[in-house]
Amino acid sequence: MLDRLEALDAKFQEVEAQLQEPAIASDPKKLRELSKLRSELEPVVVAWAQQRIFMKQLEEAAGLLADKSMDPELREMAAAELPDLKRSIEVCEAEIKRLLVTKDPKDARNVILEVRAGTGGEEAALFAAEIFRMYVRFAERRGFKVSVLDQSEAGMGGLKEVVAEIQGEGAYSVFRFESGVHRVQRVPKTEAQGRIHTSACTVAVMPEADEVDIQINPNDLRIDTFCSGGKGGQSVNTTYSAVRLTHLPTNTVVQCQDERSQIKNMARAMTVLRSRLLEKAQSEADAIESAMRKAQVGSGDRSEKIRTYNFPQNRVTDHRVNVTIHQLDRFMEGEIEAVLEPLRSAYEAERLQNLQG
């Protein structure tokens, strides 16, 4: 932890120095970026500085107490200060750990959300559509903006897959726990005999990446354009506005057809591609801090589940924190906080344990 604190302090001092440069003051964008970074670093740097002050005072008090030649009254005062100084150091340490645990640079980012139908055929596609609508309602309640980048529809209003961007401060910190396989147990609309079926859909949540995070060589891309598909509109099936990108080294394929402009679709597809490549790079660099995308979504098989939605019992169970809620109807309307909060608490507790280790 000491190495990390020293690095953060050095970065803070570097940012402070940059903010004093005349060139930065005349660059509004750079000034905003540095000011934001400074505000993020300052709390932990200040807490650590205060802890060091208390530790120095503790060392001085302990030295006075150990010096037999000192005036007895001074030694008595030093002895009286020791418990308070120790408590102050412990308070600072707890605050520093809290700040280190809860601050993740990715937390403030927008989100690339992918929902895909898994095991269960048409019923799985219907469930995927309902899960996506649940996230849209939740996002709207939190003041986030949701933009569909690409989707593939199935029969009866279902979705084979959908890719969306969720924009808003702290979006990733809110949605990061939703990656995995979501299982549903209910009587499908197509079931004539009233039997309960089990189906699944997969969810992947990635922090949005920008050009600074991932540099893509244009020579590594194959770019295809095609006519947009959808429910209608002047440009649908008439202009080649949709874009498909293939990153040849990793065989990663991304497409976007939401916008009527090919340029806008290209920009959005590049955002999704960078986010997928960043997720892959982070997972390879640190499998603990950033789960691999395959690990997030699994194979879509019913056995690989993070959460079960049981409609006959109006119950939703998150298997990671063993939390069960008997208000599935409200949960599907986007009221998912009752599960998110225990997940966040467990995540922070795990990070704190790793920090202490």
Residue 317, token pair as written in the block: 């169970």
Q: Are residues 50 and 159 in the same domain?
A: no
Which of 280, 262, 123 is closest to 190 using CA atoms?
123
Last residue of a domain, one of 285, 316, 333: 285
Q: Are residues 152 and 224 in the same domain?
A: no
Which of 123, 278, 311 is closest to 204 using CA atoms?
278
Q: Are residues 65 and 115 in the same domain?
A: no
How many independent structural domains does the chain possess? 3
**In sequence order, what are the residues at sequence separation of 6 or more whose Cβ sits closer than 8 angstroms to the Cβ of residue 331?**
134, 309, 316, 325, 338, 339
Query: Is the model's pTM score more than 0.75?
Result: no
Residue 290 lies in a domain: no
Q: Are residues 229 and 300 in the same domain?
A: no
pLDDT value of residue 258: 73
- State the residue for tokens 């949605």: 175
* Relative orientation angle of helices 28-66 and 2-19, to the nearest 10 degrees: 130
Q: Are residues 275 and 346 in the same domain?
A: no
pLDDT tens-digit profile, the chain (357 residues): 788 888 889 999 999 999 999 998 888 888 988 998 888 889 999 999 999 999 999 999 998 888 888 888 888 888 899 999 999 999 998 888 878 776 677 888 899 999 999 988 899 999 999 999 999 999 999 999 999 999 999 988 899 999 999 999 889 999 999 999 999 999 987 676 778 999 999 999 999 887 667 888 999 999 998 887 655 444 445 577 889 999 999 999 998 887 678 888 888 899 899 888 888 877 675 554 444 444 455 555 545 699 999 999 999 999 999 999 999 999 999 999 999 989 988 887 777 666 555
Last residue of a domain, one of 103, 123, 142: 103
Q: Are residues 98 and 177 in the same domain?
A: no
Last residue of a domain, one of 52, 81, 103: 103
Q: Are residues 99 and 111 in the same domain?
A: no
Q: Are residues 207 and 224 in the same domain?
A: no
At 136-153, the pLDDT tens digits run: 999 999 999 999 999 999
Which of 174, 107, 199, 201 is closest to 334 using CA atoms?
174
Give all strands (DSSP E) within 137-288, no chain letters.
145-153, 159-167, 180-186, 197-207, 221-226, 242-247, 252-256
Residue 291 lies in a domain: no
The CATH code of the domain that includes 68 is 1.20.58
Q: Are residues 148 and 245 in the same domain?
A: no
Q: Are residues 207 and 113 in the same domain?
A: yes
The CATH code of the domain that includes 267 is 3.30.160.20
Q: Which amino acid is at 49?
A: A
Q: Are residues 7 and 94 in the same domain?
A: yes
Quote the domain boundaries for residue 122: 107-212+296-356
